[in-house]
């Protein structure tokens, strides 16, 4: 289906504590970094791409993408990254009304992600959409209208809200489903064990 112009946001603002710190996006899976795999999947689907990351943005200079830091202090979680992406879109791409967020640690994202999210949102008449694989819901893999940014800012700064589902349930969120076998397209790399498993998946399913 044809869907509205949508800006892609790669969320890389986490602290990667379970990986011992650093940028886990640079871990190589199947000979390619997770970040390169993420970008290869979502670039064809998005009008533009930006990265949400805190710290020195120069470490992503090789991507030639804009890097946007959280405006909410103290590593407030993925909602802070989504707000940063919404604010950047409003300021720099005012012709784009939608933002799609993906975690920077998912090396097997689906090629039909944005189309499915938009299709599901429209079919449900919902304001928002997020992904689910099998029984697991992935609220960070979501579709966000730019016009909600002031409400999100209010709940982050005024209410101290951090949990995505507590915010999205206020507006209505459509759930787009994917199978989780033979590969979960939203498998994420949080630990060294996850990285080893992702390498095994990439060898078994080279087109994943």
Q: What tens digit of pLDDT does each residue of 63-93 get?
A: 999 999 998 887 778 999 999 999 999 999 9
CATH for 6-204, options being 3.40.50.720, 3.30.200.20, 3.90.550.10, 3.90.79.10? 3.90.550.10
The whole-number average pLDDT for the span 44-70 is 95
Residues with Cβ within 8 Å of 139's Cβ and at least 6 positions away in sequence, in order, are 130, 164, 165, 168
- Indicate the pLDDT class of residue 18, thresholds 50, 70 and 90: very low
pTM: 0.94
């Amino acid at each position: 289906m044809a869907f509205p112009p949508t800006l892609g946001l790669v969320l890389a603002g986490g602290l990667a504590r379970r990986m011992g710190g650093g940028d886990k996006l640079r871990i190589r899976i199947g000979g390619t970094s997770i970040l390169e795999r993420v970008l290869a999947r979502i670039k064809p689907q998005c009008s533009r791409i930006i990265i949400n990351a805190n710290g020195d943005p120069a470490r992503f200079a090789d991507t030639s993408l804009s890097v946007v830091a959280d405006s909410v202090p103290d590593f407030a979680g993925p909602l802070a990254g989504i707000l940063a992406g919404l604010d950047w879109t409003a300021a720099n791409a005012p012709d784009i009304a939608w933002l799609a967020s993906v975690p920077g640690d998912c090396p097997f994202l689906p090629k039909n992600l944005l189309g499915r999210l938009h299709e599901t949102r429209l079919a449900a008449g919902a304001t928002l959409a997020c992904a689910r694989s099998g029984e697991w819901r992935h609220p960070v893999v979501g579709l966000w209208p730019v016009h909600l940014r002031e409400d999100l800012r209010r709940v982050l700064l005024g209410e101290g809200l951090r949990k995505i589902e507590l915010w999205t349930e206020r507006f209505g969120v459509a759930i787009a489903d994917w199978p989780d076998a033979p590969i979960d397209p939203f498998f994420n790399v949080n630990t060294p064990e996850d990285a080893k498993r992702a390498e095994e998946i990439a060898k078994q399913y080279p087109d994943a």
